[in-house]
Amino acid sequence: MDLSTMPARRPPALPARARALRPAERLCLATGLLLVLAGLAHLVVFAVDGGPWYGPVSWRKPVTFGLSFGATLIAVTWVTSYVRLGERTRALLLGVFAADCVVEVGGITLQAWRGVPSHLDMETPFDTAVSMTLAAGGGVLVVVLTVFAVASFRHRPAGPAGMALAVRAGFAVLLVALASGAAMIARGVVLTRTGHQQAAYHSTAPLKPLHGVSLHAVLVLPALAWLLSRTSWSEPVRRRIVTGAVIAYAAAVAGAGVWAALVY
């Protein structure tokens, strides 16, 4: 049989998710990018206006929260494409998550421009409303991201070698970040309501390293697995590298946790 006369076999079609982004994904990625740009814009504001970088009232907060929430929204939108979830469920959760990110960054930015603290500030009814909205928004974050985390552990995530471990570890570490953030808010609210306002602002410091280190594992670890998939290394080698990165990240989180426990 003359094989040269046979039509060439076409490669299998790409999955729908690989061909085009869905509307919910496009919206979330665009929102995440805008939040990142807002954070960078406030870095310019800080350079022009000056003032303290640390403390409850500074331009640091709209900068860091804009960058962190934007990067996390982009990361979660991408990473959950590997998690087995119904499309409608995923779109709904991503929509809620994106809206919550906007509320959180918006509230923090508003208070920065007003020159008052964004968290734990209950000096006026308006400040109390903003502070409580941000706290409630944190609760929504916990619920949505916990659903994603549980889904990643119920069914093995798809993707290249090491991606399943990277996604699961990323979400597990992200839950540590959420727990430490909730602990900061809870302790601060208790101190505020008992008349220790300044102590409330300072009480969050010991947990900030743990919160910061844990926050972006959901981006760093899956990104590593994806980058390794672009190399010519074998799957066992890539899995070992991802495993080593997960262990190193866990050690960093544990170290930050021990430090927080010693000084809290």
Tens-digit pLDDT profile for residues 8-36: 433 333 343 444 788 999 999 999 999 99
Q: In whole angstroms, give the CA distance from residue 183 to residue 257.
A: 13
Q: Is 55 left (phi over 0), alpha (psi -120 to 50) or beta?
A: left
Q: In whole angstroms, give the CA distance from residue 172 to residue 71.
A: 17
Of 181, 186, 182, 188, which Cα lies nearest the Cα of 203?
Answer: 188
Sole residue written with tokens 């403390």: 55
Cβ–Cβ < 8 Å for 145, 96: no
Residue 190: per-residue pLDDT: 77
Residue 253: per-residue pLDDT: 93
Average pLDDT estimate for 175-195: 81
> How is residue 14 annotated by DSSP?
P
Task: Give per-residue pLDDT as tens, 157-173.
Answer: 999 999 999 999 999 99
Task: Give per-residue pLDDT as tens, 127-137.
Answer: 889 988 998 99
Residue type for position 191: L
Q: 147 is written with which tokens?
A: 């659903």
Task: Give per-residue pLDDT as tens, 221-251.
Answer: 999 999 999 999 999 999 999 999 999 999 9
Q: 61 is written with which tokens?
A: 């907060």
For the chain, state the CA radius of gyration: 21
Residue 6: per-residue pLDDT: 43
Residue 50: per-residue pLDDT: 86
Tell me what percent of the residues of the chain surpass a pLDDT of 70.
92
pTM of the predicted model as reported, rounded to 2 decimal places = 0.86
Q: How confident is the model at residue 47 (pLDDT cuts 50, 70, 90)?
A: very high
Average pLDDT estimate for 81-98: 94
